Structure 1
Amino acid sequence: MTMNGTMALILAQDGLTTGIIYALLSLSILLVFLVTRILWVPAGEFVTFGALTMGVLQRHEVPATVWLLAALGGATLAREGVRAWRSGRRTNWWLMAASYAVLPAVVVGAAIVLAPMDLPIFAQVLLTLAITVPMAPMIYRSAFLDLAGSPVLVLLFVAVAVHYLLTGLGLVFFGPDGMRTPPFIPGRLDIGVTRISWHLLLVIGVALTLTGSLFAFFERTFWGKSMRAVALNRRGARLVGVKPETAGTIAFGIAGLIGCLSGILIAPVTGIYYDSGFLIGLRGFIGAVLGGLASFPAAIAGSIFLGLFESYASFFASAYKEAIVFSLLVPILIWRSVIERRRHALPDDAE
């Protein structure tokens, strides 16, 4: 099959759609790493949980992820209680109970009541977000918070363990069969010599809105500026009254929101399975590496390039698409290594 102009434009649209999703995911991975030094390996699992939970709701069934939310809420409440007892602090019990007991109970009750109904698409999206997003900060509080001062490698091992746990639970909750949801806005828009899908325009609109909101949050709000301070100097931020634990909780909450939204947006484009999260998350990680794990704009640009590259690679060599895409990581890491060595070279080495 030969490439022509029409085919190239169609592949460009598909690549741009997936590239924007990868860009959002790379933002969440980069945000969590900068604030907590945790490589957020389970980022892809929130994509799959968001997509598959949405698919189950569209079948008018109660998603099993509500029970995971309840279990995480109970585990986090118990862990916070032990942490408060050991530190001798007895305050904010009502806040902990509201966050980890009352809120999950309300969401579970709402899912049981609303899931069998013929809900509008916007209500399904909100219910999916309410079920999935709170899991991320709960995982941080229960699995990572006590290891905040540990080396990055230890945090990576814990993140990998959480990834495998969530993947196994995904198989239990959703089974081995994949799901693909219908597009939010079907059809295409005629523009000049090509037709652009309405879903692509929706993805672009959501991505721009989310990116603008994050920029305003980090530039204009107290906690946004506090998270930037924690990312630059964790100890210095603590000395001026910023709690890195709270900043990490917010970072995980934002990452959970981005991951769930990405899953909802990508589900109409490709079939999602319980184990799809690892490969999707790895693509987001490649985008973050392109940004040097430091630059949000570079991560966005790298992720969009990756989506376009993947789309055209699937046309020319679909059987080797995964190998071709992930082989990009090798020259990128070599290039970054050379740059870092030159940056930190001693004067004698520089000569």
Structure 2
Amino acid sequence: MSDALPSPVLAARSRGDRAARAIAVVGIVAALTAAVFAWDARQSLRTLESRAGGRLAELGEESAQSKTALAQAQVSLKESQSRLAELEARVAESQESRVQLEEMYRDLSRNADDRLLSEVEQMLVLASQQLQLAGNVRGALAALQAADQRLAKAEKLAVAPLRRALAQDMDRLKALPQVDTVGIAVKLDNLVATADQLPLVVADSLPPTRLASRAKPLEEPGFTRAARDFWEEMKGLVRIRDLENNDAALLAPSHAYFLRENLKLRLLAARVAVLARDELSFRDDLRAVQGWLNRYFDAKAKPTQVALATVKLLSESPVSISVPDINASLAAVRTARSAREKAR
């Protein structure tokens, strides 16, 4: 046993072997842990890719639907424009008939009373045309009031039945709700002008802090500027926002452009409906605008709140009213003229 190593050497060698085995075990465990984390990260990446692909497909479908809605809105706008052109043609015809009436009345007798009745009849005819063609209650009421004032100055003319008919027609017109066509059109034009400034639920631009950081002067040292830019880019990878609506729609920048254009087209279609006194189309367009504002735009932002309040106010405004006729006054003035002609 002279070749046997001393016991201290054997003990040291045994401790070295145990340490080596422990290190090997730790290395194996670390390798397994790294492999598990790598596999989990790969699975998470695949899940994210599948979700992103599904979301892109949904956005593509929504874009196609938006294009279809845009085409339908354009067709509706063309139809409204054709109806407006027809209405303008009818107004032009009424103006031509007014010129003919004026020429005819110039040839009437110079008798003051006959001339007065002729002028009153002309006023009433114009008022009736304003009511039937354009629904202009204010213009018709002004014409009736002017006619009544002219008759009030003719003390020798027996027109009490005519004035009673005028008073009844004026009372009916005054009882009608007023349609502020000009005010509604101005509000719609303001909404169209502010459509591009309305913030979306998820902003399609960089946050103000990042824009401010990018605008800092370039006199900083190269390493400091590079580190700051790297940190800003890393912070921009993930953006967290508290959305009250779980179904909030996320739009790409190109889709956001089409959304704003569709919003403008809907507002313009509502404006045309106001001019054409088409209350059904006007209500439908405003409901669509209100739905898009609530779904796609940030309801907490002040511009969006103002736009929603304006749309709500417009939706409560009357556009088309059932205007009465003034046939009683027309019949009364024609009866008065016939009575004077028979009395000659």
**Normalised by the size of structure 2, how large is the TM-score?**
0.21
User: Relative contact order (C-alpha < 8 Å, sep 6+): which is higher?
Assistant: 1
**Normalised by the size of structure 1, how large is the TM-score?**
0.21
Which protein has the larger Cα radius of gyration, Structure 1 or Structure 2? Answer: 2
